[in-house]
Chain A
Protein backbone atom coordinates (compact mmCIF):
# COMPACT_ATOMS: atom_id res chain seq x y z
CA UNK A 1 0.00 0.00 0.00
CA UNK A 2 2.65 2.52 1.01
CA UNK A 3 4.74 1.36 -1.94
CA UNK A 4 1.87 2.23 -4.25
CA UNK A 5 1.39 5.60 -2.55
CA UNK A 6 5.08 6.38 -2.76
CA UNK A 7 5.16 6.18 -6.55
CA UNK A 8 4.33 9.39 -8.42
CA UNK A 9 0.56 9.72 -8.77
CA UNK A 10 -0.95 9.93 -12.26
CA UNK A 11 -2.80 13.05 -13.38
CA UNK A 12 -6.22 11.36 -13.38
CA UNK A 13 -5.90 10.71 -9.63
CA UNK A 14 -4.29 14.01 -8.63
CA UNK A 15 -6.36 16.37 -10.82
CA UNK A 16 -9.79 15.32 -9.49
CA UNK A 17 -8.46 15.41 -5.90
CA UNK A 18 -7.22 18.98 -6.44
CA UNK A 19 -10.60 19.85 -7.99
CA UNK A 20 -12.37 18.53 -4.88
CA UNK A 21 -10.67 21.25 -2.85
CA UNK A 22 -13.17 23.69 -4.37
CA UNK A 23 -16.35 22.11 -2.92
CA UNK A 24 -14.51 21.06 0.25
CA UNK A 25 -13.66 24.68 1.15
CA UNK A 26 -17.10 25.93 0.13
CA UNK A 27 -18.94 23.33 2.18
CA UNK A 28 -16.66 23.64 5.21
CA UNK A 29 -17.35 27.34 5.55
CA UNK A 30 -18.05 29.31 2.36
CA UNK A 31 -14.35 29.71 1.62
CA UNK A 32 -13.12 30.47 -1.87
CA UNK A 33 -10.05 28.56 -2.98
CA UNK A 34 -7.20 31.02 -3.58
CA UNK A 35 -3.66 30.76 -2.32
CA UNK A 36 -1.94 33.96 -3.44
CA UNK A 37 -4.26 35.99 -1.17
CA UNK A 38 -2.08 34.74 1.68
CA UNK A 39 0.80 36.85 0.39
CA UNK A 40 -1.46 39.87 0.75
CA UNK A 41 -2.52 38.77 4.22
CA UNK A 42 1.15 38.49 5.14
CA UNK A 43 1.66 42.12 4.03
CA UNK A 44 -1.48 43.26 5.87
CA UNK A 45 -0.36 41.48 9.04
CA UNK A 46 3.32 42.44 9.01
CA UNK A 47 3.91 45.66 7.03
CA UNK A 48 0.65 47.43 6.14
CA UNK A 49 2.55 50.78 6.01
CA UNK A 50 -0.69 52.73 5.72
CA UNK A 51 -1.29 51.42 2.19
CA UNK A 52 -5.06 51.19 1.57
CA UNK A 53 -4.64 47.84 -0.19
CA UNK A 54 -3.33 46.32 3.04
CA UNK A 55 -5.74 48.00 5.43
CA UNK A 56 -8.32 45.33 6.06
CA UNK A 57 -9.06 42.83 8.75
CA UNK A 58 -6.69 40.02 7.77
CA UNK A 59 -7.75 38.07 10.86
CA UNK A 60 -11.00 37.38 9.06
CA UNK A 61 -8.97 35.48 6.46
CA UNK A 62 -6.91 33.49 8.94
CA UNK A 63 -8.45 30.24 7.69
CA UNK A 64 -6.36 30.64 4.54
CA UNK A 65 -3.13 30.83 6.55
CA UNK A 66 -4.16 27.57 8.24
CA UNK A 67 -4.74 26.15 4.77
CA UNK A 68 -1.22 27.02 3.51
CA UNK A 69 0.30 25.85 6.80
CA UNK A 70 -1.39 22.56 5.90
CA UNK A 71 0.20 22.57 2.44
CA UNK A 72 3.60 23.07 4.09
CA UNK A 73 2.91 20.16 6.49
CA UNK A 74 1.72 18.06 3.55
CA UNK A 75 5.16 18.63 2.01
CA UNK A 76 6.87 17.62 5.27
CA UNK A 77 4.75 14.47 5.64
CA UNK A 78 5.27 13.40 2.05
CA UNK A 79 9.03 13.88 2.19
CA UNK A 80 9.11 11.94 5.46
CA UNK A 81 6.70 9.03 4.85
CA UNK A 82 5.75 8.82 1.19
CA UNK A 83 8.88 9.88 -0.55
CA UNK A 84 9.75 8.26 -3.84
CA UNK A 85 13.41 7.23 -3.99
CA UNK A 86 13.49 7.53 -7.78
CA UNK A 87 14.36 10.68 -9.71
CA UNK A 88 11.74 12.90 -11.36
CA UNK A 89 11.14 11.36 -14.80
CA UNK A 90 10.69 13.95 -17.52
CA UNK A 91 10.60 14.07 -21.29
CA UNK A 92 13.97 13.19 -22.93
CA UNK A 93 13.90 16.44 -24.94
CA UNK A 94 13.86 18.44 -21.70
CA UNK A 95 16.66 16.28 -20.24
CA UNK A 96 18.75 16.99 -23.34
CA UNK A 97 18.07 20.74 -23.20
CA UNK A 98 18.83 21.03 -19.47
CA UNK A 99 21.98 18.92 -19.91
CA UNK A 100 23.25 21.76 -22.09
CA UNK A 101 22.96 24.13 -19.11
CA UNK A 102 24.65 21.68 -16.77
CA UNK A 103 21.43 20.69 -15.01
CA UNK A 104 21.34 16.91 -14.64
CA UNK A 105 20.34 16.24 -11.03
CA UNK A 106 16.73 15.02 -10.87
CA UNK A 107 16.89 13.74 -7.29
CA UNK A 108 14.70 16.54 -5.98
CA UNK A 109 11.47 18.30 -7.00
CA UNK A 110 13.50 21.41 -7.64
CA UNK A 111 16.83 21.32 -9.54
CA UNK A 112 19.33 21.34 -6.69
CA UNK A 113 21.93 22.81 -9.03
CA UNK A 114 19.84 25.99 -9.22
CA UNK A 115 17.94 25.90 -5.94
CA UNK A 116 20.70 26.15 -3.38
CA UNK A 117 21.74 28.80 -0.86
CA UNK A 118 25.15 29.12 -2.58
CA UNK A 119 23.45 29.76 -5.91
CA UNK A 120 21.67 32.71 -4.32
CA UNK A 121 24.93 34.61 -4.66
CA UNK A 122 25.09 34.09 -8.43
CA UNK A 123 23.39 36.25 -11.07
CA UNK A 124 21.38 33.23 -12.22
CA UNK A 125 20.19 32.57 -8.68
CA UNK A 126 19.19 36.18 -8.08
CA UNK A 127 17.21 36.34 -11.34
CA UNK A 128 15.48 33.00 -10.87
CA UNK A 129 14.80 32.88 -7.14
CA UNK A 130 14.44 36.54 -6.19
CA UNK A 131 13.28 37.91 -9.56
CA UNK A 132 10.99 34.96 -10.19
CA UNK A 133 9.47 35.12 -6.73
CA UNK A 134 8.87 38.84 -7.10
CA UNK A 135 7.06 38.33 -10.42
CA UNK A 136 4.91 35.60 -8.88
CA UNK A 137 3.85 37.87 -6.01
CA UNK A 138 3.45 41.08 -8.01
CA UNK A 139 1.75 39.42 -10.98
CA UNK A 140 -0.68 37.26 -9.05
CA UNK A 141 -1.96 40.20 -7.02
CA UNK A 142 -2.13 42.45 -10.11
CA UNK A 143 -4.14 39.73 -11.85
CA UNK A 144 -6.33 39.32 -8.74
CA UNK A 145 -5.43 35.67 -8.22
CA UNK A 146 -3.09 32.86 -9.17
CA UNK A 147 -3.50 29.38 -10.55
CA UNK A 148 -5.81 28.38 -7.72
CA UNK A 149 -7.98 31.51 -7.60
CA UNK A 150 -8.32 32.00 -11.35
CA UNK A 151 -7.46 28.78 -13.17
CA UNK A 152 -9.24 26.45 -10.75
CA UNK A 153 -11.76 28.42 -8.69
CA UNK A 154 -12.52 31.01 -11.41
CA UNK A 155 -12.94 28.46 -14.18
CA UNK A 156 -15.00 26.21 -11.90
CA UNK A 157 -17.48 29.06 -11.54
CA UNK A 158 -17.32 29.77 -15.31
CA UNK A 159 -16.00 33.33 -15.08
CA UNK A 160 -14.55 34.64 -18.31
CA UNK A 161 -12.12 37.11 -16.63
CA UNK A 162 -10.52 34.06 -15.00
CA UNK A 163 -10.25 32.33 -18.37
CA UNK A 164 -8.52 35.41 -19.73
CA UNK A 165 -6.18 35.51 -16.73
CA UNK A 166 -5.39 31.79 -17.15
CA UNK A 167 -4.58 32.28 -20.83
CA UNK A 168 -2.25 35.15 -19.87
CA UNK A 169 -0.57 32.97 -17.21
CA UNK A 170 0.12 30.35 -19.87
CA UNK A 171 1.30 32.93 -22.41
CA UNK A 172 3.69 34.50 -19.89
CA UNK A 173 5.00 31.05 -18.97
CA UNK A 174 5.49 30.00 -22.60
CA UNK A 175 7.44 33.16 -23.39
CA UNK A 176 9.58 32.86 -20.28
CA UNK A 177 10.33 29.13 -20.51
CA UNK A 178 11.02 29.04 -24.25
CA UNK A 179 12.45 32.42 -25.12
CA UNK A 180 13.96 34.02 -22.02
CA UNK A 181 14.93 31.20 -19.64
CA UNK A 182 17.42 29.65 -22.14
CA UNK A 183 19.40 32.92 -22.04
CA UNK A 184 19.34 33.03 -18.26
CA UNK A 185 20.48 29.44 -17.92
CA UNK A 186 23.23 29.48 -20.52
Chain B
Protein backbone atom coordinates (compact mmCIF):
# COMPACT_ATOMS: atom_id res chain seq x y z
CA UNK B 1 0.00 0.00 0.00
CA UNK B 2 2.97 2.31 -0.30
CA UNK B 3 2.21 4.81 -2.96
CA UNK B 4 4.67 7.50 -2.04
CA UNK B 5 7.87 7.24 -4.04
CA UNK B 6 9.98 8.72 -1.26
CA UNK B 7 8.96 5.96 1.14
CA UNK B 8 9.52 3.42 -1.62
CA UNK B 9 13.16 4.37 -2.03
CA UNK B 10 13.61 4.56 1.70
CA UNK B 11 12.53 0.97 2.09
CA UNK B 12 15.01 -0.10 -0.51
CA UNK B 13 17.84 1.83 1.02
CA UNK B 14 17.33 0.42 4.50
CA UNK B 15 15.20 -2.64 4.35
CA UNK B 16 11.59 -3.50 4.51
CA UNK B 17 12.11 -5.54 7.60
CA UNK B 18 13.09 -2.53 9.64
CA UNK B 19 9.72 -0.97 9.07
CA UNK B 20 7.66 -4.12 9.33
CA UNK B 21 9.45 -5.05 12.55
CA UNK B 22 8.40 -1.80 13.98
CA UNK B 23 4.83 -1.80 15.07
CA UNK B 24 4.34 1.88 14.93
CA UNK B 25 6.31 3.41 12.13
CA UNK B 26 4.02 2.42 9.32
CA UNK B 27 2.19 5.38 7.93
CA UNK B 28 -0.04 3.97 5.27
CA UNK B 29 -1.57 7.15 3.96
CA UNK B 30 -0.25 8.01 0.53
CA UNK B 31 -1.80 11.45 0.55
CA UNK B 32 0.23 14.61 0.84
CA UNK B 33 -1.22 17.29 3.05
CA UNK B 34 -0.31 20.77 4.13
CA UNK B 35 1.11 20.94 7.64
CA UNK B 36 -2.05 22.36 9.19
CA UNK B 37 -3.85 19.09 8.50
CA UNK B 38 -1.84 17.81 11.46
CA UNK B 39 -3.70 20.11 13.83
CA UNK B 40 -6.40 17.47 14.15
CA UNK B 41 -3.85 15.07 15.67
CA UNK B 42 -2.84 17.81 18.09
CA UNK B 43 -6.49 18.08 19.17
CA UNK B 44 -6.80 14.31 19.68
CA UNK B 45 -3.54 14.47 21.64
CA UNK B 46 -4.88 17.23 23.91
CA UNK B 47 -8.03 15.23 24.71
CA UNK B 48 -5.95 12.09 25.24
CA UNK B 49 -3.55 13.97 27.50
CA UNK B 50 -6.40 15.33 29.64
CA UNK B 51 -7.78 11.79 30.10
CA UNK B 52 -4.29 10.56 31.01
CA UNK B 53 -3.92 13.14 33.78
CA UNK B 54 -7.46 12.99 35.11
CA UNK B 55 -7.46 9.20 35.31
CA UNK B 56 -4.05 9.34 37.03
CA UNK B 57 -2.54 7.06 34.38
CA UNK B 58 0.50 9.33 34.55
CA UNK B 59 0.84 8.84 38.31
CA UNK B 60 3.93 6.98 39.48
CA UNK B 61 1.89 5.85 42.51
CA UNK B 62 -0.83 4.32 40.34
CA UNK B 63 1.71 2.34 38.33
CA UNK B 64 3.33 1.04 41.51
CA UNK B 65 -0.12 -0.02 42.72
CA UNK B 66 -0.73 -1.83 39.44
CA UNK B 67 2.52 -3.79 39.61
CA UNK B 68 1.75 -4.79 43.21
CA UNK B 69 -1.77 -5.95 42.27
CA UNK B 70 -3.16 -3.55 44.85
CA UNK B 71 -5.72 -1.84 42.67
CA UNK B 72 -7.95 -2.67 39.73
CA UNK B 73 -7.81 0.90 38.38
CA UNK B 74 -5.05 0.53 35.75
CA UNK B 75 -6.23 -2.94 34.69
CA UNK B 76 -9.71 -1.53 34.21
CA UNK B 77 -8.35 1.29 32.07
CA UNK B 78 -6.13 -0.85 29.84
CA UNK B 79 -8.74 -3.63 29.64
CA UNK B 80 -11.65 -1.38 28.70
CA UNK B 81 -9.46 0.56 26.25
CA UNK B 82 -8.56 -2.69 24.51
CA UNK B 83 -12.21 -3.82 24.40
CA UNK B 84 -13.24 -0.50 22.82
CA UNK B 85 -10.27 -0.78 20.42
CA UNK B 86 -11.19 -4.33 19.37
CA UNK B 87 -14.84 -3.40 18.77
CA UNK B 88 -13.82 -0.27 16.81
CA UNK B 89 -11.36 -2.12 14.59
CA UNK B 90 -13.94 -4.86 14.01
CA UNK B 91 -16.53 -2.23 13.03
CA UNK B 92 -14.07 -0.48 10.68
CA UNK B 93 -13.39 -3.78 8.89
CA UNK B 94 -16.99 -4.99 8.93
CA UNK B 95 -18.53 -1.78 7.58
CA UNK B 96 -15.53 -0.92 5.43
CA UNK B 97 -15.25 2.50 7.06
CA UNK B 98 -12.98 4.92 5.19
CA UNK B 99 -10.85 7.80 6.43
CA UNK B 100 -12.24 11.33 6.27
CA UNK B 101 -10.29 11.67 2.99
CA UNK B 102 -12.05 8.62 1.56
CA UNK B 103 -9.03 6.31 1.69
CA UNK B 104 -9.54 2.70 2.80
CA UNK B 105 -8.16 2.01 6.29
CA UNK B 106 -5.21 -0.36 6.24
CA UNK B 107 -3.90 -2.63 8.97
CA UNK B 108 -0.45 -4.14 9.04
CA UNK B 109 0.37 -7.45 10.67
CA UNK B 110 3.07 -7.55 13.32
CA UNK B 111 5.63 -10.26 12.92
CA UNK B 112 7.04 -12.11 15.85
CA UNK B 113 10.67 -11.53 16.76
CA UNK B 114 12.59 -12.11 19.97
CA UNK B 115 12.83 -8.36 20.52
CA UNK B 116 9.25 -8.47 21.73
CA UNK B 117 10.47 -10.66 24.62
CA UNK B 118 13.84 -9.07 25.47
CA UNK B 119 12.76 -5.54 24.67
CA UNK B 120 9.43 -6.11 26.38
CA UNK B 121 11.12 -7.17 29.63
CA UNK B 122 13.51 -4.20 29.50
CA UNK B 123 10.72 -1.76 28.72
CA UNK B 124 8.59 -3.24 31.52
CA UNK B 125 11.36 -2.77 34.06
CA UNK B 126 11.79 0.84 32.93
CA UNK B 127 8.05 1.32 33.27
CA UNK B 128 8.19 -0.07 36.81
CA UNK B 129 11.05 2.28 37.71
CA UNK B 130 9.87 5.56 36.21
CA UNK B 131 6.16 4.80 36.52
CA UNK B 132 5.71 6.12 33.01
CA UNK B 133 5.57 4.78 29.51
CA UNK B 134 6.36 7.21 26.68
CA UNK B 135 2.91 8.86 26.45
CA UNK B 136 2.65 9.83 30.13
CA UNK B 137 6.16 11.33 30.02
CA UNK B 138 4.86 14.15 27.81
CA UNK B 139 1.80 14.68 30.02
CA UNK B 140 3.92 14.68 33.21
CA UNK B 141 6.12 17.43 31.79
CA UNK B 142 2.95 19.33 30.88
CA UNK B 143 1.67 19.19 34.46
CA UNK B 144 4.87 20.89 35.58
CA UNK B 145 7.12 18.00 36.59
CA UNK B 146 10.00 19.56 34.67
CA UNK B 147 12.62 17.02 35.80
CA UNK B 148 10.81 14.46 33.62
CA UNK B 149 12.48 16.23 30.66
CA UNK B 150 15.61 14.36 31.79
CA UNK B 151 13.70 11.04 31.71
CA UNK B 152 12.46 11.85 28.20
CA UNK B 153 15.94 12.77 26.95
CA UNK B 154 17.28 9.58 28.48
CA UNK B 155 14.56 7.59 26.69
CA UNK B 156 15.58 9.23 23.39
CA UNK B 157 19.18 8.27 24.19
CA UNK B 158 18.05 4.69 24.86
CA UNK B 159 16.30 4.59 21.50
CA UNK B 160 19.43 5.89 19.81
CA UNK B 161 21.64 3.28 21.48
CA UNK B 162 19.19 0.57 20.39
CA UNK B 163 19.33 1.85 16.82
CA UNK B 164 23.11 1.79 16.96
CA UNK B 165 23.35 -1.75 18.40
CA UNK B 166 20.43 -3.14 16.47
CA UNK B 167 22.44 -5.37 14.13
CA UNK B 168 24.22 -7.00 17.05
CA UNK B 169 21.16 -7.74 19.17
CA UNK B 170 19.19 -10.98 18.92
CA UNK B 171 15.86 -10.59 17.13
Contact = CB atoms under 8 A, between A and B. Distances in A.
Interface of A: 5, 8-40, 42-43, 47, 49, 51-57, 60-64, 66-79, 82, 84, 88, 90-91, 93-94, 97-98, 106, 108-111, 114-117, 119-120, 127-162, 164-178, 180-181, 184
- Interface size for chain B: under 10, 10 to 19, 20 to 34, or 35 or more residues? 35 or more
Contacts of A134: 126, 154-155, 157-158, 161
Interface in B45-89: 45-68, 70-74, 76-86, 88-89
Closest 8 CB pairs of A and B: A74-B49, A70-B45, A75-B142, A172-B124, A34-B24, A142-B119, A168-B120, A19-B84
Contact of B120 (A29, A82, A97, A169): A169
A74 B27 contact: no
A156 B159 contact: no
Given A72-B139, A166-B120, 17 more contacts: A15-B80, A15-B84, A24-B44, A27-B100, A53-B14, A62-B38, A63-B38, A70-B44, A79-B53, A136-B123, A138-B122, A138-B162, A147-B135, A156-B88, A158-B86, A161-B113, A162-B23
B147 A37 contact: no
How would you classify the secondary structure of chain B's contact residues: helix, strand, loop or mixed? helix
A5 B85 CA distance: 24
